[in-house]
Structure formats: C-alpha cells, structure tokens
Chains A and B, each alone.
Chain A
Amino acid sequence: MKRAEPVVWGSLGAAVALLAWQLGTAGSPVIPTPWRVLVGFGELYRKGLLASYIAASLTRVAAGYGAAALLGLPLGALLGSYPGARQYVDTSIQLLRPISPLAWMPLAVVWFGVGNAAPVFLIFVGAFFPILLWTADGVRNVPKPLVAAGRNFCQSPAAVVFRVLLPAAFPRILAGLRAALGIAWVVVVAAEMIAVDSGLGYLIIDSRNAGQRYDLVIAGMLLIGGIGILLDSGLARAGRLKSLSWGSGYDGIH
C-alpha cells in the first residue's frame, strides 16, 4: 500500500488542478476547457498530425542531442583527465555557457537557413555544455585511489579511461545527460516556432496564428509536458540499474 500512495496523492492533485481549470475557464471565450482540449487532441489525431509532429520534434532532438553527446562525452572526459587543459578553455566556456541557446537563433538562421539544420544546431548548443561540463566534473572527481588502482591493473591508458574513469564518473555524467535532455526538449519547441513548419513548437504557434485555436495550443503544451516526463524517466531508469547507480553507495572506508 505504501508504494501506491504517491500515485493516489498525485492523481488527487491532478484532479484538483483539472477541476480548477474547468471552473476557471467555463465562461471564457478564449481559453478552452479541458473537454475542448480533449476534442482538440482527437482532431489532431484524425488529421494525422499528432504522430508526425511528435516524430518531427523527437527526430530533431535525437540529432542535436546525439551530436552533443557524441562530442561532449569524449571532450568532457579529456577535459577532466587533464587538469591543465581546463585553464585554456575555461574562460571561453564560462562566457558561452550562460547564453541561452535561443540567442543563437539569428546566427543559426544565417548559417543554416530555414529548415531542420537550424533547430538541430540550437539543440546541440543547448545540450553540449551540460554534457561537457558534467562529464569533465565527474571524471575530475573520481576518487584518487580508484584512479591509482586503475593505473595499476590496466595495461593501457585507454583501458583506464573506459574501465575506471568513465564508470566511476557515470553518476555525474548521467546527471549531465538528464539536464541536457531537459534543455534540448525546451529548445526544440522554441526553435520550431521560428524556422520550420512541423513539430510541436510549430503546432503551438501555427494553431494560434491560424485561427486562434487555443484548444490546440494547450493540447500541444500538454504533449510537450508528457513527452518531457517520458524522456526524463527513461534516463532516470538507466540510472537505477544497480551496476550504474552505485553513486549513492560509494563511501570508501572513511
């Protein structure tokens, strides 16, 4: 019964929120009620837009996020294993990092034009820094005795990286991957409002522009929220695998 409790309370909270939404919008000419949003979902489904827009957004995230991980993981590992390397790039990273990925939008459109490449680039920019920095941080903070034991047992530096540094840093790397995925999902929606004519961001902006369809706007918002939860819980599940989630258990002897 204990396990079910959060579900019960969570459902109750959602039911209250839904009721408040219904009561607050019952007479409104602009903001739709939950029921009208549900009908909107049905309309999107019948037009075949539901699956294709979701697929378009996910594909862009996969491309931008994938590229960020492909580049951020090895560079982060490198940055973390050579403390000397950090001083060369630290200033640049600190300057670039607080810039919202969306601020790159004008440049992205100049470089890549209107099409898929621009939003993919923005997602890449948004996801790259958390992956890079968390990976570097994780590798740098691997406890010294583990690194020493790795150097003692392994025949090559590459083996030390793959058999000791990366697994040891994994909890922090995963934290970076999760943060980056959250950002990527936020960025794709914003980017799709500008540069392309498909995806969930486009759905929202197009529904408003073409006929003030706020039922579809809210349907799009809810889709974004739901898929965001699914994406994050997928990565969170990876972190709960026993061989990977040792992070909370590590205490050495001291």
Chain B
Amino acid sequence: MIQVLLEERCVKCNLCVNICPTNVFEKRKGEVPVISRQDDCQTCYMCELYCPVDALYVAPNADEAVEISEQELLTTGLVGSYRTNMGWQKGQKPVAAQDPAYKFYLPSGV
C-alpha cells in the first residue's frame, strides 16, 4: 500500500493524484497532496513510477498498512527504485529496450 509521501521532496505537480487508478490521493490548494484513501490502494506501484521526484513509497504489503518512518526509509535506498529499474528516471532509457523475456521464458511465443 502507498505508505509515505515525502513532503519535502514533493513539487506539488499532482501527477500522483491524476494517475492513481483507484483515486487514493487528494489534491490540496497550494499544498502537497495527501494520501486520503489508503484503503483503496491496490499496490500497483504506478504512482511511484510516475512521481518525477521520488517522493512516494509504496510498501509491498497489499492487505495492511505497515508503518515505516521517513528517516528509516531514506537509509534503505528503496525510494524511487522502481522508477530506476524501469528506466524512467531523467536521462535514463526505458529498460523495455533490453527486455530479455524472449531469451528465456517466452521462447515459443507464449
């Protein structure tokens, strides 16, 4: 579930509000958005992927909220890791161009 929104990183672009398929975030005038419907989160990680400044962290736990402190989180190096792994960070190329699925698990096209 979406767990952390790092307010000091957030640039208030509200992209997460726009792109969340289950409408978890709420826009606020002049302020950073808030996670207002955490229970509706389907743990699809799309908000993290779209966040241009790595201000969001989705915990992998789908059924329950698991508290994690911002400080603790920042030491893990996990914030923004999905975006990096997909090649969506600024200056990166999409990793889809290196997708090796054809080499090993889709050999016969299934």
Are A and B associated in one complex? no
